[in-house]
A and B are shown apart, each in its own frame.
Chain A
Amino acid sequence: MASRGYTEGRRKRVEPRGTRASSSRTTELRRLPSVSQKPFEEIVAEHGPTVLRVCRAVLGPVDAEDAWSETFLAALSAYPRLRAGSNIEAWLVTVAHRKALDHVRAASRRPIATNELPERPARDSGSAGWESGVWKALEALPLKQRQTIAYHYLVGMPYLQVAQIVGGSQDAARRAAADGIATLRQTLLKGESR
């Protein structure tokens, strides 16, 4: 299953996994510079928080900031070649989706060492408690449910767009999110009433 790029209009990009933005993506995105692009600083200010929430919801506290940084570095690199009028938020979420997948794959290749993660200091200041609450519940969900929930509920993307990013049909994306939300509701609300 190749992850499909965000599609603007009829344009579709299918990219090999694990390629760096500066190599293959560069050629795919090459086009005339758009008439007027905002300074990238504004893109970071506008969309940084949303992308971080997405990374946290999909990856959890340990890898979220790494994925955020990789996302914005790749986006900065490709930014001058982005088509004018593109939906910047959807583009960034698509890049974040790929970067998060890289982390998930890397984690699945890592030998299981149960005491490795807790020893790593939580760099996530200002987020005290969420690792043990929401994230624990999210982490228990299948990856696809976490992704669809993040893109639909946290970003506010319609399911059609969510499906374009995670692959599969719009209905499948809707079902994955609904199943995930149902499980979350059970876990979290049960936890609250205790």
Chain B
Amino acid sequence: MMNERRAKVDESGLFAALPTIDEEVSRRLHRRLVEAANAAGVLDVAYRTIDTPVGALLLAATQKGLVRVAYASQDHDRVLNGLARDVSPRILQDPARLDRVAREIEEYFAGRRRVFGVPLDLQLSHGFRRTVLSHLREIGYGQTASYAAVAKASGNPKAVRAVGSACASNPLPVVVPCHRVVRSDGTMGQYVGGVEAKDALLALEATA
């Protein structure tokens, strides 16, 4: 019905000259909206994507800090929908808020950075999983720890499987280094971004 009505107008040709939005106007309006939203404090989640040697990474930040990093294999649209549900639907693409973390990740993949300095927002992780994540940050660059060791450090030596699921649900891979957790027998184990990505990160840290 809607199309019929529009078609009727198009036939009359009255609005043919009324411009549709072009890319330049669209970009300008978007930028303006982002600026106004930041100034008004209503942009709850800003995001952008960056290209890395392990594929496109989605980066999302609240006003508190980096809240989500996601691999392409995790489906960025799905991740954004999850953020809308779990954090806030007030989400806009805003590369500027993620400039610093993007730069740090770029430096990391170039072998020029060993520690991330950006503030983190761990609100997507709760309870024991959050405890595990805080201990992951103690595993230094180029080192690895076993799931059992992380369980012990997190105060529950029997919770080896729970450490595994905490790593698998890490909302901040790469930055919170769950890739440094390996099996006790020395084999790599699973990874949220796929085994190849884990291999690439460990190889990078071993050589840089």
A residues bordering B, Cβ < 8 Å?
A: 22, 35-41, 44, 48-49, 52-53, 56-57, 65, 68-69, 72-73, 76-77, 79-80, 123-127, 129-130, 133-135, 152-154, 156, 181, 184-185, 188
Contacts and interface: CB of A to CB of B under 8 A. Distances in A.
Interface of B: 1-3, 5-6, 8-9, 12, 14-15, 17-22, 24-26, 28-30, 32-33, 36-37, 40, 42-43, 45, 47, 80-81, 83-85, 88-93
Nearest to A184: B14
A152 B81 contact: no
B131 to A, nearest CB: 28
A29 to B, nearest CB: 13
Q: Most chain-A CB neighbours within 10 Å: which of B42, B43, B83?
A: B42
A contact face: mostly helix, strand, loop, or mixed: helix
Nearest to A68: B29
Given A22-B40, A39-B91, A80-B90, A56 B18 contact: yes
A152 B47 CA distance: 35
A22 B40 CA distance: 10
Contacts of A125: 22, 24-25
- Top-3 shortest CB links A-B: A39-B91, A126-B22, A156-B2
Nearest to B6: A156
Contact of B17 (A73, A124, A129, A185): A129
A149 to B, nearest CB: 9
A52 B84 contact: no
A153 B40 CA distance: 34
A153 B17 CA distance: 14
Contact of B15 (A22, A35, A37, A134): A134
B112 to A, nearest CB: 32
Nearest to A37: B89
Given A57-B18, A125-B25, A154-B9, 19 more contacts: A35-B85, A36-B84, A37-B85, A39-B80, A39-B81, A39-B91, A49-B21, A65-B32, A73-B36, A73-B37, A73-B40, A76-B92, A123-B28, A126-B22, A126-B25, A130-B18, A181-B12, A181-B14, A185-B14
